[in-house]
């Protein structure tokens, strides 16, 4: 019989949920809040445009796209696995959806007669890629890092082949709406990201499958002994992550109203940086969706401050790498990272 913690008990600590509401505020991932405040103060002092509506609008849109991708990556990391190919899914899934709409003989296949079918295709592609990765890692026992790295390269090559290195444009309104529309002055992409954050936070803390995920990531052997279907849980996580990556790609494609062949390139490194900043363990079994999203916001704000300060792009990339190293060091010192 499956031995899953009681719903009233936190999956990470075993503390009753009623007692954990206050203690959650003191988890390491929430230490990012004062850092966010400091970055915003510094940004406002360096450039008055930092606090403008237009600037925050752009920051929120970028954070939403990266945030949805990072949520998918965080689920995989909590389960104790890696998925580097999410950045290629980010680009390929919306590309295939639009490609199917375009006229045959041109750049596409003209397979989908409706934007609704193209939208459905985007999520089906994301789920299929996730299932493929899951099968490689879970059932064929491939190393997750190497297998998904290979998938990343494969999918990137497919993206270049489909578009011949060109940019797909003239996207239908249904596909651009999530990324470019606003509601009461707030980007719809941000509202989508907030809704996903709320749903996944409740799911991971209250639903039995969410608690299973922490158990599998923390100790898969013990989870299997407890009766948890480890393989099915892991496969499901890869599928969900693929669909979230597809959604994130759709949001960015909608914002720029086009799909370049390089869509999402190198974005996985930012997602990893954000997850680590948010207190997600690379060894599995620890982290929260909210913490990872806090890491996303911090990373995007830092990059925005650097851009407004006219720092060259190559130094911004170097800064991202330095942020990852600092976050790993903090994680090691705090004891969150138990690796040798």
Q: Specify the CATH number for the domain of residue 193.
A: 1.10.3470
Calculate mean pLDDT across residues 146-173.
89
According to the model, what pLDDT value does residue 34 have? 86
| pLDDT above 60 (res 24) | no
In this prediction, what percent of the chain has a pLDDT beyond 70? 84
| pLDDT above 60 (res 105) | no
Q: How many other CB atoms are found less than 10 A from the CB of residue 50?
A: 21
More confident residue, 33 or 124: 124
DSSP E strand stretches across the chain: 182-183, 186-187
According to the model, what pLDDT value does residue 3 have? 47
- Residue 1 within a domain: no
| pLDDT above 70 (res 57) | yes
Look at phi and psi of residue 112 and say left if phi exceeds 0, alpha if psi is from -120 to 50, else beta: beta
According to the model, what pLDDT value does residue 110 have? 52
As a three-state string, the secondary structure of 7-58 is: CCECCCCCCEHHHHHHHHHHCHHHHHHHHHHHHHHHHHHHCHHHHCHHHHHH
According to the model, what pLDDT value does residue 135 have? 96
Question: pLDDT by residue (tens digit) across 271-292?
Answer: 998 998 888 888 888 889 999 9
- Residue 308 within a domain: yes
According to the model, what pLDDT value does residue 233 have? 94
| Distance, CA of 169 to CA of 23 (rounded, Å) | 49
- Residue 8 within a domain: no
- Residue 339 within a domain: no
CB 238 within 8 A of CB 213: no
**CA angle 296–314–76, rounded 5-degree value:** 30
- Residue 204 within a domain: yes
Mean pLDDT rounded to a whole number for the chain: 84
According to the model, what pLDDT value does residue 20 have? 45
- Residue 5 within a domain: no
Domain of residue 291 covers 17-334
* DSSP 8-state assignment for residue 167: P
More confident residue, 118 or 198: 198
> According to the per-residue pLDDT averaged within each range, which of 3-12, 36-45, 189-198, 254-263 is highest?
189-198
- Residue 11 within a domain: no
According to the model, what pLDDT value does residue 29 have? 61
Q: How many domains does the chain have?
A: 1
Question: pLDDT by residue (tens digit) across 184-233?
Answer: 989 999 999 999 999 999 999 889 998 999 999 989 999 999 999 999 99
Predicted structure pTM score: 0.86
């Amino acid at each position: 019989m499956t031995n899953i913690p009681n719903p009233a008990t936190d999956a990470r600590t075993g503390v009753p949920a009623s007692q954990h509401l206050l203690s959650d505020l003191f988890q390491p991932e929430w230490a990012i809040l004062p850092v966010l405040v400091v970055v915003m103060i510094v940004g406002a002092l360096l450039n008055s445009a930092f606090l403008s509506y237009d600037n925050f609008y752009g920051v929120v849109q970028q954070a939403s796209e990266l945030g949805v991708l990072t949520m998918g990556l965080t689920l995989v990391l909590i389960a104790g696995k890696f998925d580097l190919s999410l950045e290629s899914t980010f680009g390929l899934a919306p590309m295939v959806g639009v490609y199917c709409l375009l006229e045959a003989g041109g750049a596409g296949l003209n397979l989908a007669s409706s934007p609704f079918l193209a939208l459905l295709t985007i999520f089906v592609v994301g789920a299929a890629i996730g299932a493929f990765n899951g099968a490689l890692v879970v059932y064929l026992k491939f190393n997750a890092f190497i297998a998904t790295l290979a998938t990343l390269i494969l999918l990137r090559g497919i993206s270049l082949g489909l578009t011949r290195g060109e940019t797909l444009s003239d996207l239908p309104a249904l596909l651009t709406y999530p990324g470019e529309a606003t509601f009461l002055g707030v980007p719809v992409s941000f509202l989508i990201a907030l809704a996903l954050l709320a749903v996944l936070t409740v799911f991971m803390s209250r639903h039995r499958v969410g608690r299973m995920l922490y158990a599998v990531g923390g100790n898969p052997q013990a989870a299997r002994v407890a009766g948890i279907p480890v393989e099915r849980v892991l496969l499901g996580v890869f599928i969900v992550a693929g669909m979230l990556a597809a959604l994130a790609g759709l949001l960015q494609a909608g914002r720029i109203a086009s799909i370049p062949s390089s869509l999402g390139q190198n974005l996985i490194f930012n997602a990893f940086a954000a997850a680590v900043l948010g207190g997600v363990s690379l060894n599995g079994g620890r982290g929260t969706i909210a913490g990872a999203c806090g890491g996303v916001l911090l990373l995007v704000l830092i990059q925005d401050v650097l851009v407004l300060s006219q720092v060259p792009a190559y130094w911004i990339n170097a800064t991202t790498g330095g942020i990852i190293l600092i976050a790993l060091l903090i994680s090691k010192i705090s004891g969150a990272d138990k690796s040798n």
